Amino acid sequence: MWSFGRKRKAGDKIDIPQPLTINHGGTPEEARKIGAKWAETFELLGGLGPDQAILDIGCGPGRMAIAIGDRFDWRNDYTGFEIVRDDVAFARRTISKAHPTFEFVHIDAYNVQYNPLGKVEPTAVRFPADDRSIDFCFATSIFTHLFAADSAHYVREAARVTRGTFLSTWFVIDEGFPKAIEAGTSRFGFPHRDADGVAYEHADAIAAAVGHDWSAIQRYFGDAGLSCDLHRGAWRGDGKGARHSQDIIVARPR
Ligand SMILES: C[S@@+](CC[C@H](N)C(=O)[O-])C[C@H]1O[C@@H](n2cnc3c(N)ncnc32)[C@H](O)[C@@H]1O
């Protein structure tokens, strides 16, 4: 793990300390391993490469930033934004300090799970990027914590800034879901629905795991002028050969 007491040398690995990774699941070692696998997925499915402009929606303390930097030799112009202030502070003083083309922005948006005192409605968030300036925009495990209006707005914002690929992860609920429930293979049952019909797992922690109907997701992307290719994840137990648990949507401007 990185010690704050000594000077960083070229080639030093950046590790996210336990109190920050715990918010996103797992140990520092797991964060590094999961990040590396995602960076590979970004290349395989999203065409990510060095020298591309990147926007990371809800970047946390920088799990994906570190993995992308390691994979592409810190050659990207990367911006991550996040609603948890401590995550952004950590990412700035470690990642940006060593790699200044990796920037982190704090936006004080409300999320009942992650930032319950947030002052900005998610539907009022403007992503920190100019129109059509981003080659690879991504959101890993963000729409799994957002409800209908916020999701529609975030997809619209992603469409505004993206000129290349927008990759995002979801829990997609479609006609296969009841079959997975019946078979007992699904990690989530999503027993609750809010007024807009969005599904959630825990009545006492509604944003901890959120599932969206496939028809609603297609509408968000269609209305935003994006194509929408679904790559099924493993969470339902029926995604054969899936690399990750969550479903992945790869989208491009039409
Ligand atoms: C499970 S973590 C994933 C973090 C990061 N994307 C990763 O994969 O390492 C979910 C993240 O979503 C962020 N989040 C929740 N609501 C958000 C919003 N409205 N806008 C941006 N980020 C949000 C949380 O603060 C948290 O960092």
Query: Mean per-residue pLDDT for 55-61?
Result: 98
12 CA to centre of ligand 1 in angstroms = 26
CB 247 within 8 A of CB 229: no
pLDDT of residue 96: 97
Q: Of all protein residues, whose CA lies closest to atom 27 belonging to ligand 1? A: 60
Structural domain containing residue 132? 18-251
| pLDDT tens, residue by residue, 224-235 | 999 999 999 999
pLDDT of residue 13: 82
80 CA to centre of ligand 1 in angstroms = 10
183 CA to centre of ligand 1 in angstroms = 31
Residue 157 lies inside a defined structural domain of this protein: yes
Whether pLDDT at 247 is above 90: yes
| pLDDT tens, residue by residue, 118-166 | 999 999 999 999 999 999 999 999 999 999 999 999 999 999 999 999 9
Q: How many domains does the chain have?
A: 1
pLDDT band for position 12 (50/70/90)?
A: low
Alpha-carbon gap, residue 59 to 65, rounded angstroms: 8
CA-63 nearest atom, ligand 1: 9
CATH code for the domain of 158 = 3.40.50.150
Helix H or strand E segment including 213: strand 210-213
Q: Beta 199-200 vs 210-213: how paired, if at all?
A: antiparallel
pLDDT of residue 25: 64
182 CA to centre of ligand 1 in angstroms = 31
Query: Mean per-residue pLDDT for 34-40?
Result: 97
Residue 240 lies inside a defined structural domain of this protein: yes
pLDDT of residue 7: 45
Residue 231 lies inside a defined structural domain of this protein: yes
Rounded to the nearest 5 degrees, what angle is found at the Cα of 114, between the Cα atoms of 110 and 117?
45
23 CA to centre of ligand 1 in angstroms = 10
Q: Of all protein residues, whose CA lies closest to atom 22 belonging to ligand 1? A: 58
Q: Ligand 1 pocket: which residues have CB below 6 Å? A: 24, 57-60, 63-64, 82-84, 109, 111, 114, 122, 140-142, 145, 150
Residue 6 lies inside a defined structural domain of this protein: no
Q: What is the average pLDDT score of the chain? A: 93
Residue 1 lies inside a defined structural domain of this protein: no
